[in-house]
Amino acid sequence: MTMTPEEINRTVSQLLDQAPGRSTRARESVLNILLSAPTALNHHNIEEVAKQRDLSIDRVTLYRTLDWLVEQGVAHRIASVNRSWYFSAVAQPDMEPHAHFHCKKCQQIYCLEDVQAAPMHNLPKEYQLEEADLCLQGQCVTCNRDANG
Amino acid sequence: MTMTPEEINRTVSQLLDQAPGRSTRARESVLNILLSAPTALNHHNIEEVAKQRDLSIDRVTLYRTLDWLVEQGVAHRIASVNRSWYFSAVAQPDMEPHAHFHCKKCQQIYCLEDVQAAPMHNLPKEYQLEEADLCLQGQCVTCNRDANG
DNA sequence: TGTAAAGTGCAACTATGTTACAGTTTATCC
DNA sequence: GGATAAACTGTAACATAGTTGCACTTTACA
């Protein structure tokens, strides 16, 4: 997921061209920000990055833009323990469902694309399962390294 | 988890006596409500049940009471997709961590005490894991039965 | 039964997300 | 290239979930 700025720009254009809506400044900026981030971001995080880049995105527009990106399958929405939604870009449309890791120290949320929720054996069969999210918590690579010197 | 009202009262007293705080009307009522419920409840649900029972519990007191019950290990707190916390009673102190099922139709959250998050193989070992929550979504037993006649 | 600490109630506040509606921009057609 | 309708954006006002500060009340216990 480490892309050069040019690769990010190219991916943004590709993804937006494929989607059935208009390509606007807000959508480009937000998707660019998501693709550039190593972790999932919430609204607040995205607003901050936008501010750093001297982009001003209206709060409501940001909400709507993120909804739209999720609808288009270009971003995915992650529920978190701190009652806000987190978002991460979906660069390839065939991305598998995967686990998320919430670091209790730095509060970042990582997508662990290689870790999936295991199939369940003893779920009573009267429950009709549609989604299974595996939400891990603990300390992330970076914080762990910082702590252990 | 189906207890008679007398059993519930007895359990409430036992659990509160064991805890290092005071036994108050709010704590008794809330714990009673949680023990009586077949699913996990959020603040709003609890307020409604309390109202039905002609108990009036202040909003803030309810928040604090629930925090306290969780601290004491008498209730557990479940993050949900609709940005509110859900709570369920922990009748036995040695209850295992278990999966939760959120019904997309009736919005209830069920504790599936027999379903656990499977141990993970491919979590990079630099991540220090402390908790693993398995959050299932779909249609619950009741809604499924209603739909299939 | 008096007292200190623990718990409660109220008001005001913060954070996150939503709705309505008028104004602006985009894609498209001529 | 310019006009047009639909799509998108910005503002204000609102809704919901949860928190904080502080005065008041209740509990446990000597």
The alpha-carbon gap from A13 to the nearest alpha carbon of chain B, in Å, equals 31
The alpha-carbon gap from B69 to the nearest alpha carbon of chain A, in Å, equals 18
Q: What angle do CA A138, A62, A75 make, to 5 degrees?
A: 55
So what's the pLDDT on residue B37?
96
User: In 3-state terms, what secondary structure has residue B136?
Assistant: strand
Question: Residues 65-94 of chain A: which lie with beta carbon within 7 Å of strand D?
Answer: 65, 68, 83
Q: Which nucleotides of C are covered by protein (CB under 7 A)?
A: 6-12, 15-20, 25-27
So what's the pLDDT on residue A122?
87
So what's the pLDDT on residue A97?
86
In chain B, CATH 1.10.10.10 covers 1-90
Mean pLDDT per 10-residue section of chain A, whose length is 149 residues: 88 92 95 96 96 94 98 95 94 85 94 87 91 93 86
Q: How many CA atoms lie within 13 A of B53 on its CB side?
A: 15
**Binding residue per annotation — B103?**
yes
In chain A, CATH 1.10.10.10 covers 1-91
Residue among B115, B127, B144 whose CB faces A101 most closely? B127
CA distances from A78 to A18, A145, B82 (A): 23, 26, 12
So what's the pLDDT on residue B129?
94
So what's the pLDDT on residue A92?
82
So what's the pLDDT on residue A10?
93
So what's the pLDDT on residue B132?
92
So what's the pLDDT on residue B1?
57
Distance A47 CA to C18 C1' (A): 18
CATH number of B1-90: 1.10.10.10
- CB < 8 Å & 24+ apart, contacts of B97-102: B97/B131, B97/B132, B97/B133, B99/A120, B99/A123, B99/B133, B99/B134, B99/B135, B99/B136, B100/B40, B100/B133, B100/B134, B100/B135, B100/B136, B101/A123, B101/A127, B101/B136, B101/B137, B101/B138, B101/B140, B102/B135, B102/B136, B102/B137
8 Å CB contact between A52 and A37: no
CATH number of A96-149: 3.30.1490
In a mutational test of the B interface, the residue from A103, A112, A120 whose CB has the highest number of chain B CBs within 10 Å is A120
Which residues of B fall within a CB distance of 8 Å from A140?
A: 127
In the DSSP assignment, the letter for residue A39 is S
B39's enclosing H/E stretch is none
Residues of chain B with pLDDT under 50: none
In a mutational test of the B interface, the residue from A123, A143, A145, A148 whose CB has the highest number of chain B CBs within 10 Å is A123
In the DSSP assignment, the letter for residue A2 is -
Which distant-in-sequence residues (6+ apart) come within 8 Å of A78 by Cβ?
Answer: A40, A85, A86, A87, A88, A100, A109, A111
Q: Are B127 and A104 in contact (CB < 8 Å)?
A: no
8 Å CB contact between B100 and B111: yes
In chain B, CATH 3.30.1490 covers 96-149
**Residue recorded with tokens 């928040």:** B63
CATH number of A1-91: 1.10.10.10
